[in-house]
Amino acid sequence: MNTKTEFPDAGYYDGFGGQFVPELLMPPLIELEEAMQSVLPSQAFQEELAEVLQDYVGRPTPLYRCRNLSKRLGFDLWLKREDLAHTGAHKINNTIGQALLAKHMGKRCLLAETGAGQHGVATATAAAMLGMECIVYMGAKDVQRQAHNVHRMRLLGAKVEAVDSGTQTLKDAISATLRHWIRDQATAHYCIGSVVGPHPFPALVRDLQSVIGTETIAQCQKKMGGLPDVVLACVGGGSNAMGMFHPFTDYPEVRLIGVEAAGSGEEGCTHSATLSQGTEGVLQGARTYLLQTQAGQILPSHSVAPGLDYPGVGPEHVAFMTSGRAEYVCVCDDVALEAFYTLSRDEGIIPALESSHALAYAMALQGEIPSGSRVVVTLSGRGDKDLGIVREREGAAETKA
Amino acid sequence: MHTSVLTEAVDKAHKAGRHALIPFLPAGFPDPERFWEVLRELDAQGADIIEIGVPFSDPVADGPLIEAVSLQCLADGVDLDWILDGLERMAGQLATPIVCMGYYNPFWQYGMARFAERAAQAGVAGCIVPDLPLEEAGPFQEVLNAQGMDLIRMIGVNTSEERMRAYAKNGSGFVYMVAALGITGTQAGFPPQLPQALSRAQDIFDDPIALGFGLERKEQLGEIRDLVDAVVFGSSLIRHVQGGGEVRTFLQRWH
């Protein structure tokens, strides 16, 4: 792979992005940008990263054609199996890259925020592998909901800090991590988990995740003899989607669809459909789309998939939406759960609830797209982590019945 | 460049041989009714500039105390309209210049030009916006300056000389030096680089330098007292008021 970085103008993507942070954070952001320009493209770094991605992460991940579902749907449904990467999700592509970069920058501690716990686990993994300290901030509510992942992080040697402020969820964990980074910027690197936050993070995370799309293009050429017709990925902050979409920028004939979480889908419900239903604003370092009140206060978000539960979105996705390069739609909790069951039973793959949103929309394309079309979905992670949520909902449904 | 009432307020205190006092009072604290009383007390008891905090749901640079107070103020219905309506009602009654301190999104959603126009009419002299560094400050600074208001520049002990010089090019009012690498209300002592950073700032900026974050009483300043023109205090004042203390007794700590 070749992780190249092309910075947008002053950190902006068609007017979205930027660096809306306290001045105290500008020096470490400038230091990071300089490292991205000097260290990241160097041959030595690229070779080291490629080796770790292959031997430790397990790349390339397979591109798998769903035999049974494809027959039923009337089009070819392919899955980019990020669930088979080490730690069970795409998150590791980013954390390994950032951890290596941080090490080259002389940092000895990785800071991370996490909602569902997947990014926390991936950061703790990278830190353990590279012999670095790791501190993970997690909303107090998420610490309770994701006890299994908290245990994994601790096993990996990370310190998990529960955040009691605000809504006690991901957005509060991000604020807490930024505050810690202000304090310990000389020795710590903030390993942000998605294509969000101040410049240069959206570009850095996108470039590290672009391995997903780059591999997919090569695998499609080999297995299908050409490019796919439609590519779908779920969007919370949007890192797996941007990692898949960005390498397709040069292929306008490929339809890109980002799928957000609509929550219960009822009128006025709490959801995470930032692009579909949010408005422009500034949060945690970037001008982007947000779920907010008219007065500019950030609204709580919700999804059955904890990894999609964020009231903002990566600024480059906004640029993709406004330019029309990608479409953004949303799928509600129950429909995503249906897809979760379908893929489990029909293909023997238990998907993450996040990915189930993208799968659900892909399946709904039946009848809309010509038969024989080639559709690729990023399976961003595996569903083991979500079994508690699924069991709880099954229990609630049984009680109701 | 207009004559800044904020610069004048700091200079006046300086000429009187003391630091200008800049208390921070979150809008709606200790409750929406008593806020206006405390504001009047600060005005009457010797504050030189008063910072009114505009509450925001996700204040990145604030510590747990100010965050908790801000969230309570939001729950009590405090927003920019509430602040500006109240200040309009008090127009002409306060001798102390007012600045609004808040995060960018609420100002932006309100409409920057609309805010600047109303705020100027209500007697607001400037704004402090922690998440608007040099690179992003231009548009808001322009609309504020057009109304004769200042956008206060915030710098830190880690701000390079090059960046300070860039900030110095087009600022007004005063310069806010953050006294630590950290968040509000959590420091125990100043970082060793602070005297050097203050000296550098004194050389580079024509405007007065205010020091804030973690300040509680005059004695804390020690050897840096002559490198500072004004002091900003928030968390310590909030704790004092929450504990039933009077504004007068708190301000006396600085006399």
Å from B159 to nearest chain A CA? 7
CA A200, CA A51: separation in Å to the nearest integer? 25
**3-state SS, one letter per residue, for chain B:** CCCCHHHHHHHHHHHCCCCEEEEEEECCCCCCCHHHHHHHHHHHCCCCCEEEECCCCCCCCCCHHHHHHHHHHHHCCCCHHHHHHHHHHCCCCCCCCEEEECCHHHHHHHCHHHHHHHHHHCCEEEEECCCCCHHHHHHHHHHHHHCCCEEEEEEECCCCHHHHHHHHHCCCCCEEEECCCCCCCCCCCCCCCHHHHHHHHHHHCCCCEEEECCCCCHHHHHHHHHHCCEEEECHHHHHHHHCCCCHHHHHHCCC
Residues of A known to be catalytic: 66, 90
Please name each of the domains of chain B with its CATH number.
Answer: 5-252 (3.20.20.70)
Boundary (domain end) residue, out of A201, A222, A239: A201
Same domain, A264 and A278: yes
Q: How many Å separate Cα A117 from the centre of its chain?
A: 12
Residue (of A210, A173, A180) closest to A195 by Cα position: A210
Å from A24 to nearest chain B CA? 6
A3 occurs within a structural domain: no
A1 occurs within a structural domain: no
Please list every residue in chain A whose beta carbon sits closer than 8 Å to the beta carbon of residue B105: 281-283, 290, 292, 296, 298
The catalytically annotated residue of B11, B41, B48, B62 is B62
Paired residues of B26 in beta bridges: B53
pLDDT confidence bin for A2, thresholds 50/70/90: very low
A4 occurs within a structural domain: no
pLDDT of A47 strictly over 80: yes
- Torsions phi, psi for A44 (to 5 deg): -60, -45
Option in A11, A185, A296 nearest B105 (CB): A296
CB atoms within 10 A of CB A93: 29
Residue (of A106, A112, A155, A157) closest to A133 by Cα position: A157
Q: What angle do CA B157, B161, B167 make, to 5 degrees?
A: 90
pLDDT of amino acid A3: 46
B residues 225-254 near A, CB within 8 Å?
Answer: none
pLDDT confidence bin for A1, thresholds 50/70/90: very low
Å from A25 to nearest chain B CA? 9
pLDDT of amino acid B111: 98
Please list every residue in chain B whose beta carbon sits closer than 8 Å to the beta carbon of residue A295: 79-80, 106, 109-110
Q: What is the residue whose two structure tokens read 């929450």?
A: B242
Amino acid at B191: P
Same domain, A77 and A97: no
Question: What percentage of chain A exceeds 90 in pLDDT?
Answer: 84
Complete edge-to-edge strand list for the sheet that includes strand A16-20: A12-13, A16-20, A285-290, A279-283
Q: Within an 8 Å CB–CB cutoff, is residue B58 touching chain A?
A: yes
Same domain, A225 and A131: no
Which chain A residues have any C-beta within 8 angstroms of a chain B C-beta?
10-11, 18-24, 26-27, 165-166, 171-172, 175, 178-179, 182-183, 185, 281-285, 290, 292, 294-298
Boundary (domain end) residue, out of A201, A230, A245: A201
Option in A178, A183, A290 nearest B181 (CB): A183
pLDDT confidence bin for A290, thresholds 50/70/90: very high
Contact assignment for A23 to B156 by CB distance below 8 Å: yes
CA B212, CA B133: separation in Å to the nearest integer? 17
**Contact assessment for residue A233 and residue A376, using Cβ atoms and an 8 Å cutoff:** no
Same domain, A242 and A362: yes
pLDDT of amino acid B187: 56
Q: Within an 8 Å CB–CB cutoff, is residue B134 touching chain A?
A: yes
Closest-CA residue of A relative to B109 is A296
pLDDT of A269 strictly over 90: no
Same domain, A116 and A190: yes
pLDDT of amino acid A169: 84
Please list every residue in chain B whose beta carbon sits closer than 8 Å to the beta carbon of residue A165: 64, 67-68, 71
Please tell me the total number of residues recorded for chain A in this structure: 401
pLDDT of amino acid A166: 82
Same domain, A174 and A234: no
A6 occurs within a structural domain: no
Domain count, chain A: 2
Q: What is the mean pLDDT of each run of 10 residues along chain B (255 residues)?
A: 87 95 97 96 96 94 87 96 97 95 98 98 96 95 96 96 94 91 67 94 97 90 95 94 93 87
Residue (of B6, B151, B27, B142) closest to B81 by Cα position: B27
pLDDT confidence bin for A327, thresholds 50/70/90: very high
Please list every residue in chain B whose beta carbon sits closer than 8 Å to the beta carbon of residue A298: 57-58, 105
A297 occurs within a structural domain: yes
A64 occurs within a structural domain: yes
Best of A169, A179, A190, A291 to mutate (most B CBs within 10 Å, chain B): A179
Option in A26, A27, A182 nearest B183 (CB): A182
Contact assignment for B131 to A185 by CB distance below 8 Å: no
Interval A67-101: pLDDT, tens: 999 999 999 999 999 999 999 999 999 999 999 99
**Burial (CB count <10 Å: 0-12, 13-18, 19+), residue A266:** exposed
- Would you call the peptide bond into B23 cis, given omega within 30 degrees of 0 as the criterion? no
Structure pTM? 0.95
pLDDT of amino acid A378: 98
Please list every residue in chain A whose beta carbon sits closer than 8 Å to the beta carbon of residue B71: 165-166
Same domain, A239 and A192: no
pLDDT confidence bin for A292, thresholds 50/70/90: very high
Same domain, A138 and A233: no
Contact assignment for A175 to B160 by CB distance below 8 Å: no
- Domain extent at residue A40: 14-55+91-201
CATH of the domain at A192: 3.40.50.1100
Please list every residue in chain A whose beta carbon sits closer than 8 Å to the beta carbon of residue B67: 165-166
Q: Within an 8 Å CB–CB cutoff, is residue B16 touching chain A?
A: no
A8 occurs within a structural domain: no
Boundary (domain end) residue, out of A142, A169, A201: A201
Same domain, A316 and A183: no
Closest-CA residue of B relative to A185 is B181
Option in B71, B133, B181 nearest A19 (CB): B133
CA-only gyration radius of chain B, Å? 17
A9 occurs within a structural domain: no
Q: What angle do CA A177, B238, A298 make, to 5 degrees?
A: 45
Interval A335-373: pLDDT, tens: 999 999 999 999 999 999 999 999 999 999 999 999 999
pLDDT of amino acid A4: 44
CB atoms within 10 A of CB A252: 10
Same domain, A121 and A80: no
Contact assignment for A18 to B61 by CB distance below 8 Å: no
Same domain, A63 and A98: no
Mean pLDDT of chain A: 94
**Burial (CB count <10 Å: 0-12, 13-18, 19+), residue B2:** exposed
User: Average pLDDT, stretch A141-159?
Assistant: 93
Same domain, A176 and A298: no
Å from A110 to nearest chain B CA? 18
pLDDT of amino acid B242: 94
Please list every residue in chain A whose beta carbon sits closer than 8 Å to the beta carbon of residue B134: 23, 26
Best of A9, A12, A19, A23 to mutate (most B CBs within 10 Å, chain B): A23
User: Average pLDDT, stretch A41-46?
Assistant: 96
pLDDT of A275 strictly over 80: yes
Interval A165-203: pLDDT, tens: 888 888 889 989 998 999 999 999 999 999 999 999 999
Contact assignment for A166 to B158 by CB distance below 8 Å: no
- Say how many CB pairs under 8 Å bridge A and B: 109
What is the biggest distance separating any 2 CA atoms in chain B, rounded to whole angstroms? 45
